[in-house]
Amino acid sequence: MKPSTLKQLRGNTALDSSTLIEYLTGTDLGKVLRTYFERMELDETAYVSNLTIAETFYVLCRREGVESASQKITRMISSKVIQPTDSIELAIEAGKLKKRAISLPDCSCLAVAKETGARPVFASRGTELTRGMKRKPFDVIPIFLQDIR
């Protein structure tokens, strides 16, 4: 992957569970995130909420079992490639966004992005999220891995 391909992912990001699932299951979209992690600068941070971690763990459990999911999540968190972040303010912001008929985990990612000044990153353009963006733009502009490949 050319370095210019990842230009959209430069700077701080707020990662949705869809991106982590793609990364941890080794898909083509996950390879985009892997390359981003490998090329992160020291002043760049990939933020995630605890809800993002919970949803990622849940999906991996369904696909691969509890033991595999536990190992992958533990390894990822231990590597310090992601920075878990949560606060009451983030929870309230996610709750406000939930009025927009998008999933709570998507709201959590958008809230983390807004509170940290990061760009929210999703694996693909989900129907709910895209519809929500068309009705009224979010305060932060999402990036989609499917557009970067």
Q: Please give the CATH number for the structural domain made up of 3-148.
A: 3.40.50.1010
Q: Which residues contact residue 128 at a Cβ distance below 8 angstroms, ignoring those fewer than 6 apart?
A: 101, 102, 103, 106
Question: What does the pLDDT profile of the chain (149 residues) look like in tens digits?
Answer: 555 567 888 899 999 999 999 999 999 999 999 999 999 999 999 999 999 999 999 999 999 999 999 999 999 999 999 999 999 999 999 999 998 888 999 999 999 999 999 999 999 987 788 888 888 888 999 999 998 86
User: What confidence score (pLDDT) does residue 1 get?
Assistant: 53
Dump pLDDT digits (tens) for 89-119. Answer: 999 999 999 988 889 999 999 999 999 999 9
For the chain, the structural domain boundaries read 3-148
User: What confidence score (pLDDT) does residue 135 get?
Assistant: 85
- Can you read off the two tokens belonging to residue 33? 């995130």
- The pTM assigned to this predicted structure is 0.92
